Structure 1
Amino acid sequence: MGCIYLAESRRAKKTGKSKRWWKILLAVVAIFVIGVGVYAFSIYNNAKHTVEEKMHQPVDSIDTAVGKKKVKDNEPLNVLLLGVDERSGDSGRSDALMVLSLDPKDDSMNLVSIPRDTRTEIVGKGYEDKINHAYAYGGTDMSINTVENLLDIELDYYVKVNMEGLSEMVDAVGGITVDNKTDWIDEGYYKKGYHYEKGEIELDGAKTMGFVRMRHFDSDFARTGRQRQVFQAIVDKGASVASVNKIDDMIDVLGNNMETNMDFSDMKNLMMNYRDTRKNVVSYQMEGEGAYITNSSGQDIYYLVVSDDEIQKVHDMIKKAKS
C-alpha cells in the first residue's frame, strides 16, 4: 500500500430542507397526470411512451420485483441517483452520486451525497479507487454494486441522468436564474470566456454547463452546491405555469438523457404513495479527510478517505426506518 499524505480535511455542511434533482422526474410526472383536457391527455401519452420506450432500462444488479412489492406495501425504499458525465468518445464517470431513502411510514426522506473522490473497493475489480470510477469501469451495475458494498445497504431503484442533458433542459424551460457565490471567468473545459458575476445571474444551457463544472476557483464541494442550485432552478421553472407549453420539449430532453429501472407505473405509484416524504427532509454529505495516496505507478492521487465510523453513521441513517 502506498504512502499516505494527509491533506486538508474537508467537512461537508448539511444543506437543510431543500428540493433535490431527483424531483425533476417527479415534478414532470406530476405535471403529466394533473393536466386537464385533450392537451393533458396527449402529454400523458407522450410521457408514458417516453418512459417505457426510452428511459426504462432494467439492470441485473437490482431485482425490480422487490422494489415494486415495497412500493405496493408502502415500505421504505432506497434509490441510487447518478449524475453521469458522459461525452462523445468517453465511457464517463458518475459526477454526482447520492442515495435517496424514502420512508412513507413517518413521511421522511434522507438524501446522502457520496463525494466522487471517495476511496472504496470497486466491486468487480477487486481493488480500491475513487467511487466515481466504478461507472467508467462497469457502468450502472458496477456503481450500484459498489455503493451497496460501501454502505452495506440494498438499493431498490436507480435514476441516471446525463449531466450533458442539463444544457438541453435549461434551454427547454427557457433559461434559469441562480445566485452565484463566486465571481469568475470560464477558462476551463468549455473555454467560452463567460463572465459569471457574483450575485443573481441568468443562465442559458451553454452557460449552465460552465457553472456546474467549475471547481478551480473554489472547491469540489462548492461545485456540488452549484449543481444542486441548477437542479432546483430547473424544477422550479419547469413546474411553473409559464412552462406549460414547454412540457413536450422537457419530455424529449428527459427521454434522451435519463435512464431508470422504474417503469411508468412505478413513477406514478411513487408520486402518489411517497409524496409526503418531502415534508421531512434530511440532507447529508459523507465526510472524510483528503489524502494523496501513491499508486503502483508512483503517482500521488487525491482521494477522500472515509472512516469506518463515518460509513457506519451513514449506514444507520439509511437503515433507520428498518431498525
Structure 2
Amino acid sequence: MSLILFIVAYGIIGHFILDNGLGGSKDENVSDSKNEILFLLLGIDAQDSENEKGARTDTMMLVKVDLSNESVNVLSIPRDTKVNIDGRSGISKINAAHAYGGPELAVKTVKELLGLNLDYYVKVDYTIVEEAVDKIGGVEVDVPQDMYYEDPTADPPLVIDLKEGKQVLDGQKSLQFLRFRKGYKDADLGRIRAQQQFIKAFIEQALRPKNLVKLPTMVPSYYRNVDTNIPMSSLTKMALKARKINTDNITLNTLPGDGKWINRVSYFIYNKTEMDAMVRELFSEYIY
C-alpha cells in the first residue's frame, strides 16, 4: 500500500512539486551519480500524521528503487515478526518499534534484523490511499474471501464488509480491503498477498494516461500524510524517472518464515537461513 504512494505520489506528485518550485531547488545535487535508493516504507493506521505518535505500523516494506533499469524490489515484513527492539527488554513484534521510537527506531530494528545499511524511511497513513483511489476511478481486485469485521475503537472506527470475488473498489472499500487482517487462514501472510495484489492493480490503473494528469491535485494531501527523511536531491532523480516503472519491473517478496504461538501471543518466526539468502539476492550491495 505505501509502495503505491511512493512510486506514484513521489514519481508524479513529486515531479509536479519540483516543476513548480514547491519542494526546494532543482539544482540541489541532481548530478549525484547514484542511481538507486533503499528505504523502509511504513504504513500507519491513523487518520493523519498528527495522530501517528505512539502508533504501531500496520504495514512495513523494505524497498529498493533502481533507476538504472527502472526496477523495484520489495520485501514485505509481517507485522508480527518476532524481534529484539533496542532499548526494550524481552521479545517484541516488529510493528511496535515505531510506537516505541518513531520511524528512526523502526529503521534501526529492520537494519539490525536484516544486516543492511539502511538510513531512509517513508511514512504514509491510510488517508492518502483513499483519496488516491477515488482520484483514479477505483481499483479492480479479486477479493479472496468474504471480509467482515467491526472495531468501533479503531482510529478511525473500522467497519469492513466486502464480498468475495473480482470487483472495482472505491477509496473507502479499498481501505477496508487493505485493513482487513483478522480472517485470513494464514494470518498476516494472507494479508500481505492481498496488499501485493492491490499494489500492482493500483499502479496499472494510476499509470493510465487519463489518470496521470489527476494525481498532481493530491499535493495538499501529500504534504499532510507523507513523512520522509530522503534528501531532496534523491527525490528529484526519482521523480524524473519513477513514471516509467511498471508492474513488470516490480518484484514483490515476503520475509520467509511461519506463524507460531508463544505464551498465547501470535508471532511470525522468520527463517534466518532463507532470509539471509533472500537479502543477498535482493539487496547484496547494502549488506554490512
TM-score range, shorter chain: 0.7 to 0.9
Name the SS for the 1:170 alignment partner: helix
Higher relative contact order (CA 8 A, sep 6+): 1
The 5 A counterparts of 1:224-243 are 224-243=192-211
Name the Cα RMSD after superposition.
Answer: 3.5
For 1:44, the equivalent position in structure 2 comes to 19
Larger Rg: 1
Q: Which amino acid aligns with 1:81?
A: L
Aligned mate of 2:38, from 78, 88, 112? 78
The 5 A counterparts of 1:1-323 are 21-31=2-12, 44-45=19-20, 48-49=21-22, 51=23, 72-74=32-34, 76-87=36-47, 88=51, 91-103=54-66, 109-187=72-150, 190=157, 192=159, 194=161, 196-218=162-184, 219-243=187-211, 246-272=214-240, 280-294=249-263, 300-321=264-285
Cα deviation, 1:100-123, whole Å, max 9, x if unaligned, reads 134556765431111111111112
| Superposition deviation, residue 244 in structure 1 | 5.1
Name the SS for the 1:122 alignment partner: coil
Q: Which amino acid aligns with 2:277?
A: K
Unmatched runs of 5 consecutive residues or more in structure 1: 1-19, 35-39, 53-64, 295-299
| Superposition deviation, residue 214 in structure 1 | 1.6
CA distance in 1, matches of 2:32, 2:140: 38
CA distance in 2, matches of 1:106, 1:238: 21
Distance 1:228 1:27, change over 3 A: same
CA distance in 1, matches of 2:215, 2:260: 45
Distance 1:174 1:43, change over 3 A: farther
CA distance in 1, matches of 2:230, 2:67: 18
CA distance in 1, matches of 2:211, 2:18: 13
Unmatched runs of 5 consecutive residues or more in structure 2: none
Asked whether the 8 Å contact 2:44–2:55 carries over to 1, the reply is yes
| Superposition deviation, residue 237 in structure 1 | 3.4
CA distance in 2, matches of 1:101, 1:193: 32
Asked whether the 8 Å contact 1:123–1:149 carries over to 2, the reply is no
Name the SS for the 2:84 alignment partner: strand
| Superposition deviation, residue 167 in structure 1 | 2.0
The farther-off stretch of 219-228 and 238-247 is 238-247
Q: Which amino acid aligns with 1:289?
A: D
Name the SS for the 2:182 alignment partner: coil
Name the SS for the 1:262 alignment partner: coil
| Superposition deviation, residue 143 in structure 1 | 0.1
Cα deviation, 1:229-281, whole Å, max 9, x if unaligned, reads 33444433333333356334322222211111124432221345788887654
